[in-house]
Structure 1
Amino acid sequence: MRLVTYTTAGGAPRAGRLEGDAVVPLAAPTMLDWLRGDGRADAGEAPVPLADARLLAPVPDPPSVRDFYAFEGHVATGWRRRGGDIPPAWYDAPVFYFSNPASIVGPGEPVARPAATRELDFELEVAAVIGAGGEIAGFTLMNDLSARDVQRAEMTVGLGPAKGKDFATALGPWLVTPDELPLRDGRLDLAATVTVDGYEATRTTAADMYFPWDALVAQAARDTRLRPGDVLGSGTLERGCLLELGPLPGGRWLEPGDTVTLAADGLGELSTPIV
């Protein structure tokens, strides 16, 4: 099942499911209600043509956003650039930082380049969304936009990223239930790409995740509780950002006027205009 949060004619956000080129309204008033197990049935209203619906982030206001660091290739490249090796503790358990749930944007929603950065980067990720019972209810694409020059300075303090990350995280275009996606050894076997204004910046796979998804869920839940709507980012796929790939043609990072589009088999396309 593909689930969306949408609006029509400027109305209040609704939860729906995709059926062909139409959105079928659900009885649940919001996606958080659906994730809690309420209103799983259709609302009994007429389907809305997808062309008449504006899709928002599947979970526009998640209770929390944890972003993991689960792709060994991406981690190794980052440490090599800093002149080091992956710390042994990275292999003990999946690590994450908390991102900003107040800065979620949806498909097609513009993101302003922060004034402090000239090294704006995309990050190609897959995110899991938690449902009732603390289990994964679905997966979606995630673009953890990053101000690399700001982040680089912040990280010298030793507390992790802050203003280099929390200005915008894009999710969408829809939430796909696990039964509709290929899982192999607990990992999504999906090809994925990133394009910037039609230029293919990378082609990679989500299958190379070092830790399986159940390990990420277990680590997130350890000594606390997960709530319906909590978002767990996979971390950047290998070769899933300019920090690994190098700048775009012309030696530049993302700039106003660019549109970056993440795409993956089964998960659709997530486009973000930079303004």
Structure 2
Amino acid sequence: MTAGHDTFKTGIFLGRVWDPAKAGPCLVVVRDGKLIDITSKTTPTMRDLLEREDAADYAVRADGPVLATLEALLSQTAEGQDPQAMHLLAPNDLQAVKACGVTFARSMIERVIEERAAGNPDLAVKMREKVVAIVGDSLRNLKAGSPQAAKVKEALIEVGVWSQYLEVGIGPDAEVFSKAQVLSSVGHGADVGLHPISKWNNPEPEIVLVVSSAGKVVGATLGNDVNLRDVEGRSALLLGKAKDNNASCSIGPFIRLFDATYSIDDVRNAELRLKVVGDDGFVLDGRSSMKEISRDPLDLVSQTIGRHHQYPDGLVLFMGTLFAPTEDRDTPGQGFTHKIGDRVTISNDELGSLTNRVKLSTDCPPWVFGTSHLMRNLAARKLL
């Protein structure tokens, strides 16, 4: 289920590591099974490195001390991860963390069900039967914003099942929202958090595009857009509360830069795997295929950054997921929801594996290292 270390033998992989000796983060490149520290005055942050026109070439030729072996840091888990010891961080730093939702037909139907069930899993089965009976698979091959999609929209309005989720799913405008605050994302091996008010939730395995301030996609990584189905389902106005909480955004393990071995077409054809293993013995296997996305990745980027909205430090962009779990975990008819202690692994053959353990946001390590702390740390290290 997980991508092996052979993934990192081809391509350019960049990451961030917490170095206790420096009491702060270091930029690393994966090379020959080792993590090489390439932090410098010209590239003190991942933002600075990715803003370079020659980012890929620079990463190939940059050199520095070995911080750790790839095996040592990828094998870490939340249970054995000392926050004061060396560990992997989310590979992004100063970039805005944005997300596009309802970009796949199947997940779009599930969002309609969440809305109609008002976040109540007991009502979800009946709502699913009703919505699927009307919609079926007719949305699967629709191009969002197309004339055909407009006709489907009219038909759905006529039968009374139109929804704001269908609007962003097949209408001309994509849903774009802020997933997390700058520097708040967690990386591979860390705990991911659920807000305590949620009783119905799930992981969301996604590819995350890495975009420069000029709107150029320079690479990709994996992400878990932790989803609180009941909170968002009660009201779309609760989206911010459902999406942005302590440790609710996981990204990593590394950014793979675009080069001769990896491009946007590899993203378009990517297959993601998901595995959830619970302390109760429950195992859930899922998948998400980028081939079934309703909007092209570059369209999502252009709807996020452009003349209408600038990001001077660039951004990372979650692109949504096909995965929508309906398998019952405990009570018949209530579908899947997380339990504390679940181990979630999202993997892809070209990007590696991202593993996290599920806890309550209130029990995850608090986010204490913000932008001001980063700037002071870099200044003390004479990198600014």
- Is the shorter-chain TM-score for this pair beyond 0.5, marking a shared fold? yes
CA contact (8 A) 1:124 1:144 kept: yes
1:197 to 256, 277, 285: 277
Give the TM-score normalised by the residue count of structure 1: 0.85
Residue in 1 that maps onto 2:348: 264
What code does the residue aligned with 1:260 have? V
What do the CA deviations read for 1:56-105 (whole angstroms, capped 9, x no partner)?
Answer: 10114433423343223321343356343533873323222222225411
More helix by share: 2
What code does the residue aligned with 1:255 have? K
More strand by share: 1
Q: CA deviation at 1:265?
A: 2.0
CA contact (8 A) 1:126 1:233 kept: yes
CA distance in 2, matches of 1:128, 1:73: 21
User: What aligned pairs does 1:1-275 form with structure 2 within 5 A after superposition?
Assistant: 1-9=12-20, 11=22, 12-26=24-38, 27=40, 28-37=43-52, 40=58, 43-48=62-67, 49-50=69-70, 51=72, 54-79=87-112, 82=116, 83=131, 84-85=161-162, 86-87=166-167, 90-102=170-182, 103-155=184-236, 159=237, 161-167=239-245, 168-179=248-259, 180-181=261-262, 183-184=264-265, 188-197=268-277, 199-222=283-306, 223-236=308-321, 238=322, 240-242=323-325, 245-248=326-329, 252-275=336-359
Shift >4 Å, 4+ stretches: 249-252
CA contact (8 A) 2:27 2:45 kept: yes
Residue range with higher mean Cα deviation, 160-169 or 261-270: 160-169
CA contact (8 A) 1:117 1:147 kept: yes
What do the CA deviations read for 1:220-268 (whole angstroms, capped 9, x no partner)?
Answer: 12412233341211012x1x133xx334366551111111111112111
Computing the radius of gyration over CA atoms, which structure comes out larger, 1 or 2? Answer: 2
What do the CA deviations read for 1:25-47 (whole angstroms, capped 9, x no partner)?
Answer: 22322211112229845553233
What code does the residue aligned with 1:163 have? K
Q: 1:133 to 1:247 in 2, by over 3 A?
A: same
Q: CA deviation at 1:173?
A: 0.6
1:78 aligned counterpart, secondary structure:
helix
Residue range with higher mean Cα deviation, 247-256 or 210-219: 247-256
Q: 1:218 to 1:148 in 2, by over 3 A?
A: same
CA contact (8 A) 1:134 1:227 kept: no
CA distance in 2, matches of 1:172, 1:146: 18
Residue range with higher mean Cα deviation, 34-43 or 49-58: 34-43
CA distance in 2, matches of 1:256, 1:100: 22
Q: 1:23 to 1:192 in 2, by over 3 A?
A: same
What do the CA deviations read for 1:178-229 (whole angstroms, capped 9, x no partner)?
Answer: 3333644x85211211111283421231222121121111111241223334
2:303 aligned counterpart, secondary structure:
helix
Q: 1:88 to 1:267 in 2, by over 3 A?
A: closer
CA contact (8 A) 1:189 1:205 kept: yes
2:240 aligned counterpart, secondary structure:
coil
Q: 1:182 to 1:129 in 2, by over 3 A?
A: closer
CA distance in 2, matches of 1:67, 1:10: 38
CA contact (8 A) 1:113 1:274 kept: yes
1:59 aligned counterpart, secondary structure:
coil
CA distance in 2, matches of 1:200, 1:112: 19
CA distance in 2, matches of 1:195, 1:89: 26
1:106 aligned counterpart, secondary structure:
coil
CA contact (8 A) 2:104 2:169 kept: no
Residue in 1 that maps onto 2:125: none
CA contact (8 A) 1:113 1:255 kept: no
CA distance in 1, matches of 2:21, 2:193: 22
